[in-house]
A = this chain, B = another copy of it.
Amino acid sequence: MAIIDPADMDKDLSVGEVAERSGVAVSTIHFYESKGLIASWRSSGNQRRFPRDVLRRIAIIKVAQRLGVPLATIAQALKTLPDGRTPTAEDWKRLSAAWKADLDERIAVLTKLRDGLEGCIGCGCLSLGECPLRNPWDELSEDGPGPRLLDPR
């Protein structure tokens, strides 16, 4: 396959074409489909055929991942989009605004952590019960009290 005939521009895409045009591996596309992030129909020979909106969906997935959004959350979000319709700028605005809020919060958490660290570099006590670096509840609280994994990703 050498040159794309303009008449084919609105044809659906094979998995290899999607891989090439989106920059993700074929296996990743299979994987995303298995997780319900994207959808396809099958050709007569049982091959996947993807509507073109899959490219935009994959773009959204990849950006969201850079923002630190887990795939399961992305899947939720993508389910709010009409099936097979290319996500509009409006859709993107809605999704990305939500993710930006998450990102803002993660930045805030890390910044507080850094400030706490700054104060503690000189101190060095690290005592459980006194050191703000060791006790998440104080100024560094992330998500309210209660037992919680200390994972500030």
A residues engaging B (CB < 8 A)?
21-23, 56, 59-60, 62-63, 65-68, 88-89, 92-93, 96-97, 99-100, 103-104, 106-107, 110-111, 113-114, 117-118, 120-124, 126-128, 131, 133-134, 136, 150-153
Contact = CB atoms under 8 A, between A and B. Distances in A.
Q: How many copies does the complex hold?
A: 2
Contacts of A118: 100
A121 B133 contact: no
17 contacts: A23-B128, A59-B126, A59-B127, A63-B133, A63-B134, A66-B133, A66-B152, A88-B124, A92-B124, A92-B126, A93-B124, A96-B121, A100-B118, A103-B114, A107-B110, A107-B111, A153-B153
Nearest to A23: B128
A96 B117 contact: yes
B56 A126 contact: yes
B106 A121 contact: no
Contacts of A122: 93
A114 to B, nearest CB: 5
Contact of A110 (B93, B106, B151): B106
